[in-house]
Structure 1
């Protein structure tokens, strides 16, 4: 179900928009100030945020900036400001759309629908699909689905899989892979062999037989490569 965070300090606006949104079948979480909005955003996996700029504690602009440091969730801003500079500033700091008050609730619904359609289309076109949809990697959700089941990976395991799946057939040395998974971009030669341990654990999770892998292949004396066969991305789900 589509989950939307609705942020506005005016209770009537929240109630009206929530009623319209729920008619669309969307799951609504509401917040009346910026601090509460940031808390709700961290607690939930959101599909979209409708954010008022004039909040009583911290501004909507600041809320947007803080969210954009960690997330690409679509944001529609609600505001009484209509000057061109204000609109441009909203887009520059990360908003996907801008609705000026007073507005029609139906207009907001239509704008939400348009963004959700665009995001869905983008997500579908960016899925990594292999072996007749046996393995699917979703870069937006950072999820891996194997035979219709979500596989729980550690952050390093996910980064390793995502890295080599980007270019099936390309050979990655241990140093290449280590550089890609290091959080701070640092590199320590002595840690190269730790990649083998992570690869071993990853194989246990995604391979039918980890001793005879189909996806993560060893290239002796060189490193690893991805053996999955890419699936057409334009196939309807």
Structure 2
């Protein structure tokens, strides 16, 4: 029997085999059936299809032809063409390439207020705003009531459930029997949207556009255009160029 202190000092060999080192694997296409299979080794060292070193996608400044386009913010007219760009250009820089072309060659107005084809930029900003304000005021004056709501009709059929369904738009004031717009197939969402954009909203827009037109006539307006929010001008041009 081996004394305990000696037994602790002896190295007893193990009968188990050493644990094999883990081998790197990755998923890649199988050449025989095209599905994924396990490849041995690292992906960057693999010679299989769609494997190997990852290509460097860093931009180089190389020039190449690219199809670019710009559309009119009012009527949707689109201009498209091929232009020389580089892979270092941002999206905004590429847009400016085609905007520069249509400004110089096609008669477009492209600036901080938007992009407008020759047929939609015939007026100055102030005139566009005043024209839209006058048009919208005429429409508001001719409209029924001062504000609108969704019109609903109750199911009074003997076998009905007494529920209400949307039938159109009606004024909130005046004759209760008058319906501004009626369509049994109109959706709740469409009716609610139309009612929300009633004559009272139009009157406020008229006032805002006339006030904005005064600003555009000021001497300092030209130097402040870049920093100005021009949503009202874009809205005015949409009104002026809407389908009739």
TM-score range normalised by the length of the shorter chain: under 0.3
Per the normalisation by structure 1, the TM-score is 0.23
Structure exhibiting the larger radius of gyration computed from Cα positions: 2
Per the normalisation by structure 2, the TM-score is 0.23
Kindly indicate which of the two structures has a greater share of residues assigned to helix.
Answer: 1
Higher relative CO (CA 8 A, sep ≥ 6), structure 1 or 2? 2
